[in-house]
């Protein structure tokens, strides 16, 4: 037993920004992820990638998204009473995910719409960026979060 | 040696629709994926998920996206001379990914913009749906594809 009560939609604050920490993907993690889910040559073939457009292996955009989601769940969404994601309105892949380069996550609550009696639609802006560079990922997503039960 | 020549932007046809096949995620695959990348209770905790909003485990939206990407790469994008994805303009998660329910993928070429001398921006509409149901995922994405080199 514990006293953990997840945050409801009414507890969230528009404009609030949360640091969700850092993750550093190894070359092995990048190649393993892409081998399973996105086996394009520039994600999985070191020799071809080195000779190619980016001069080396870059991570799958879905891997960037998965890294963001893990950081966000572990360090923020686990404290919210989330029902499920509903849509992702925009993902910009503005720079490549590179092996051994730490990427740092931030989440901003952009909007809260009290759409149903039992839940609200919460819009978040997420970012993943290296310490000294431009974002590799920005994502705007809508999720349903439970409202406080007044019955 | 082989004679494989990947398709360039000029080879693609706006409106063309390709069947990219089917994937059936097991409960184990769904829980494994989410345990690593999206450990929310409704994705990883069978007991809590069964008592919850969806009456059972549902897959991560990022897992749906990864399944789509694998089918699309294996059965379509591997034949294209893709440089990289640039953006995802919209992802709708319109129904949950469920264990042991086959999902079937389709890709439609929506637009081709000859943006640079060496590459074009290709917009694709992707869908993932069970055989008898509404889509679980629709995704509109822009990727750079190489143009025919005229030098």
Q: What is the mean pLDDT of residues B41-49?
A: 91
Per-residue model confidence as pLDDT tens digits over B46-84: 998 998 888 999 999 999 999 999 999 999 999 999 988
Lowest mean pLDDT among A5-9, A123-127, B71-75, B88-92: B88-92
Sheet arrangement for strand A103-113:
A17-23, A103-113, A119-130, A137-146, A82-92, B82-92, B137-146, B119-129, B103-113, B17-23
Q: How far is CA A26 from the centre of its chain?
A: 18
Q: pLDDT band at B151, cuts 50/70/90?
A: low
State how far residue B67 is from chain A, nearest Cα, in angstroms. Answer: 7
- Interface contacts (A, B; CB < 8 Å): 92
Q: Say if residue A147's pLDDT is above 50.
A: yes
Q: For residue B53, which residues of chain A lie inside 8 Å, CB to CB?
A: 83-84
Q: Say if residue A150's pLDDT is above 80.
A: no
**Any idea where the domains of chain A sit in the sequence?**
9-146
Q: Please give the mean pLDDT across all residues of chain A.
A: 92
Q: For residue A58, which residues of chain B lie inside 8 Å, CB to CB?
A: 84
Of B39, B66, B93, the CB nearest to A85: B93
Lowest mean pLDDT among A92-96, A97-101, A117-121, B77-81: A92-96
Distance CA A136, CA A23 (A): 13
Distance CA A50, CA A82 (A): 42
Contact A86 B73 (CB under 8 A): no
Per-residue model confidence as pLDDT tens digits over A33-82: 999 999 998 899 999 899 988 899 999 999 999 999 999 999 999 999 99
Which pLDDT score is estimated for B84? Answer: 85
State how far residue A15 is from chain B, nearest Cα, in angstroms. Answer: 23
Topology of the domain covering A9-146: Thiol Ester Dehydrase; Chain A (3.10.129)
Q: Tokens in use for A55? A: 């001069």
Which pLDDT score is estimated for A151? Answer: 56
State how far residue B15 is from chain A, nearest Cα, in angstroms. Answer: 23
State how far residue B14 is from chain A, nearest Cα, in angstroms. Answer: 22
String of DSSP letters for A56-79: S----HHHHHHHHHHHHHHHTGGG
- When mean pLDDT is compared over A1-15, A49-63, A76-90, B7-21, the highest value belongs to B7-21
Q: b/e string for A134-147 if b means 16 or more Cβ within 10 A?
A: ebbbbbbbbbbbbb
Contact A69 B54 (CB under 8 A): no
Name the packing angle between helices B61-75 and A27-37 (round to 10°): 70
Mutate to test the interface with A, among B33, B40, B92, B149 (most CBs of A within 10 A): B40
Q: For residue A87, which residues of chain B lie inside 8 Å, CB to CB?
A: 90-93
Q: What is the mean pLDDT of residues A101-112?
A: 97
Contact A83 B58 (CB under 8 A): no
Which pLDDT score is estimated for A4? Answer: 75
């Amino acid at each position: 037993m514990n006293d953990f009560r997840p945050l409801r939609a009414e507890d969230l604050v528009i404009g609030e920004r949360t640091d969700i920490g850092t993750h550093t993907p190894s070359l092995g993690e990048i190649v393993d992820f892409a081998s399973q889910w996105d086996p394009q040559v520039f994600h999985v073939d070191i020799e071809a990638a080195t000779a190619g457009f980016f001069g080396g292996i870059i991570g799958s955009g879905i891997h960037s998204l998965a890294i963001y989601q893990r950081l966000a769940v572990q360090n923020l969404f686990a404290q919210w009473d989330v029902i499920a994601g509903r849509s992702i309105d925009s993902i910009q892949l503005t720079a490549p995910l590179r092996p051994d380069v730490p990427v740092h996550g931030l989440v901003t609550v952009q909007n809260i719409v009290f759409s149903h009696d039992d839940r609200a639609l919460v819009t978040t802006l997420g970012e993943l960026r290296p310490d000294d560079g431009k974002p590799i990922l920005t994502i705007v997503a809508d999720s349903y979060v439970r409202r406080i039960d007044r019955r």
